[in-house]
Structure 1
Amino acid sequence: MDKGVVNKILVIRIDFLGDMVCTTPLLHALRVRWPHAEIHVLANKYNAAVLENSKDINKIHYYVYSKNFQKNIRPGFLHYLIDRAKLIVSLRKYKFDLLIIPNGGMNKNAIGFAKWLNVADCRWHNADTEFDDRLQEHVATRPMDHEALSGFKLLPELGVPDISQLRLYLQPRAELISAWRQRFKDKTKPRIGFFISNNNAARRWAWDKWQALTDKLAGDYELLIFHSPQEHFPVGWRDGSSAQRISTPTVPELLAAMTQLDCVVSADSAPVHFASALQIPVVALFESRPEKYLRWHPLGVKHIILHEGKRVEDIKVQSVLLAIQALFSDESDQQNDISQNQPAEAIACIA
């Protein structure tokens, strides 16, 4: 494709928050490669928030789901019929030169919708090139590259970047950062954020382990316990004198609050990628599945990956404690590759 031909680009990403954050390196590379092109993103009402204030895109459009109506900005069947038709018509009018679906796996909703838009040059992974971590054949035979590279593989014009040099991009609101800075006051101890909520049972760390970690760190660190508004703390939970609970109503509020942290501890979910983009060292808790921790690990930031069994629950408190201590010492500046089959305190560390 000739550089001068690309005037309008549409990127479709309609899955999760973390997935969209992992697409930001691609959006940045598109802007660098075609600096004068209009770059549009078709997102959903949940993941669009991470693109706020992005300098790499010109416009965000909102996908309309054909079955899960509650996911739409205007829920309900009638609104779906009207809004989906309007979306197709409006996107066709842009006459995009290039359409990209950067998912490593085939997103059937995105592909099906893209076919309505009459774009001549469409790029997405097919059955021969995709990686679906639910398929054992893919896990056994296909490369487990980071999800952030999936879109680059569709665009030889960009080349595939060195993963060690890749970074994620977020632009939190300045006024919200200022408000959270005032709320937390002056920092007298290192500040750690625990992200305890996770909808996937295999990725939840037990309450008693979060409590034990809180007790061990109390006194030496200021602890902020981030949780979803729907989270119910168990009876008898002790925050302690150095911990406070934080529940933010929106993604922009969460990102702004996170800028005040020195370290993040989270299971495999969006906060791992938020921390990476915000350049906050992170302890990431994973299942012992290479198709997960090799494809979704933190990028461009000092981090330690832990995995000790089939479930995040299998990770020991002592392992997390040692990982936090390592991030606050010189140890994490060195690269260590330690097998998950080592004793409980062993960690897999990538700096």
Structure 2
Amino acid sequence: MKILIVKRDKLGDMLLTTPMLAWLRQGLPQAEIHVLANDYNAWVLEGNTQPHRVWALPRVRHAGRLRIGAALQTAKMLWQMRREKYDWVLVGNGEESPRAIERGLSLRGRSTVAYCKSAVDWPRLTHPMSAPRDMHESRRLAALATPLGLSVPETLPAPLYHLPERSAAFARQWLGRNGLAAGGYVVLGLGARRAKKQPTTQQVLGWADEVQRRWGLKTVFMWTPGKSDNPLYPGDDDVAEPVLAANNPHIVPFRGPLDEAIALVWHARTSIFPDSGLMHFAAASPGGVLGFFAETDVSPSPSQWGPIGPRAHYLEAGQAVAQLSDEAVFGKLAALIDG
């Protein structure tokens, strides 16, 4: 049996696909499992032995321009994939994604499975499915494989990410330059890009002081550059700039690419992140994570997007993370740092 999983979206979403990959490998040990990714998210599976092959399609358009070479490479790769003659194509989205469904159907597998709102709209799907409610995204993805005769277990494998040696080498060098050691700091990140989901400047400064007082740990502070009102790439400068201006001796700022940020997360005692891709990577790291959610009646809920893993905790605020009490935050942190 040959199975293809189409997964060409965000990095955190790709990470949440890894429990499904491990479970498929366990449940169908003779099957050959492929993943269709893109050159943006394929690196999340680097070093992961669960898929037998990862196809990484290049981005055909970049900065609004058509990349002719990438288009030709994509056409060749899709032709090669059709020749694989997949028995099952699973469109790996937790809800209907028309573009992903079209891509899955274009590969001409014997059976194609996808979530959709109406089967009438997708007559070529052999297995149209309704997206389940009140289910974590990792389980939604795994449930796509139930037409293969599998039952989703009560507990799926944890998300899996292998830190590349080049990233580990960066972390060792950066920590050395900044007088830090692995396990000797907590990462505190912004990155939700919505004020209600982020800790305030006062919370960041106060938590850093308390982490130093209680555990003798520094705080590595991460943020996304840019102003919050930027319509294309909203950033965290409105919160980060006053934090940096305070010159708190317990805070070590870091602003860099995602792979380097993940490397520092991997060496931290633990991490604190609002709902974001980095939160999910931190949940898969040795130190685990405390995640933040807010106003979940209109925003993503932890029931679907909460961090998962053996050291994953979260707090949910009514309207904004600013409402969370220090007592609640440090109760969760103590379980991660002392546990």
Confirm or deny a common fold (TM above 0.5). Answer: yes
Question: Structure 2: which 5+ runs fail to align?
Answer: 119-128, 227-235
Alpha-carbon distance change, 229 to 61 in structure 1, aligned in 2, over 3 angstroms: farther
- 2:4 counterpart of 1:10: yes
Pairwise CA RMSD of aligned residues?
A: 2.9
Residue equivalent to 2:265: 258
Residue equivalent to 2:318: 309
Deviations 1:178-233 (A, max 9, x none): 44235424649742111112334543333333233223333432211123355533
Residue equivalent to 1:25: 19
CA contact (8 A) 1:29 1:158 kept: no
Query: What is the deviation of 1:317?
Result: 4.5
Rounded Cα–Cα distance in structure 2 between residues aligned with 1:245 and 1:27 = 36
- After alignment, is 292-301 or 77-86 more displaced? 77-86
- 2:162 counterpart of 1:168: no
Residue equivalent to 2:223: 227
Identity among equivalent positions (%) equals 23
Residue equivalent to 1:61: 55
CA contact (8 A) 1:229 1:249 kept: no
- 2:250 counterpart of 1:242: yes
Rounded Cα–Cα distance in structure 2 between residues aligned with 1:97 and 1:161 = 23
Alpha-carbon distance change, 109 to 272 in structure 1, aligned in 2, over 3 angstroms: same
Alpha-carbon distance change, 175 to 65 in structure 1, aligned in 2, over 3 angstroms: closer
From 174, 190, 215, the equivalent of 2:209 is 215
Q: How does 1:1-351 map to 2 (within 5 A)?
A: 6=1, 8-63=2-57, 69-70=61-62, 75-76=65-66, 78=68, 81-127=71-117, 129-131=129-131, 143-156=133-146, 157-163=149-155, 166-185=157-176, 187=181, 190-219=184-213, 220-228=216-224, 230=226, 232=237, 233-235=240-242, 237-251=245-259, 253-289=260-296, 292-329=301-338
CA contact (8 A) 2:186 2:268 kept: yes
Query: What is the deviation of 1:16?
Result: 1.1
Given the two structures, how large is their TM-score scaled by the length of structure 2? 0.79
Question: Structure 1: which 5+ runs fail to align?
Answer: 1-5, 132-141, 331-351
Rounded Cα–Cα distance in structure 2 between residues aligned with 1:114 and 1:71 = 25
Rounded Cα–Cα distance in structure 2 between residues aligned with 1:189 and 1:169 = 20
Secondary structure in structure 2 of the residue aligned to 1:284: strand
Rounded Cα–Cα distance in structure 2 between residues aligned with 1:65 and 1:106 = 22
Query: What is the deviation of 1:9?
Result: 2.0
Query: What is the deviation of 1:65?
Result: 6.2
Query: What is the deviation of 1:259?
Result: 1.7
Residue equivalent to 1:348: none
Give the counterpart letter for 1:99 in structure 2. Answer: V
Runs of 4+ in structure 1 off by over 6 angstroms are: none
Query: What is the deviation of 1:44?
Result: 2.6
CA contact (8 A) 2:271 2:289 kept: yes
Query: What is the deviation of 1:61?
Result: 2.2
Rounded Cα–Cα distance in structure 2 between residues aligned with 1:207 and 1:60 = 41
Deviations 1:251-271 (A, max 9, x none): 2x3332222111110001112
Query: What is the deviation of 1:315?
Result: 3.2
Q: Which protein is richer in strand relative to its size?
A: 2
Aligned length: 308
CA contact (8 A) 2:85 2:109 kept: yes
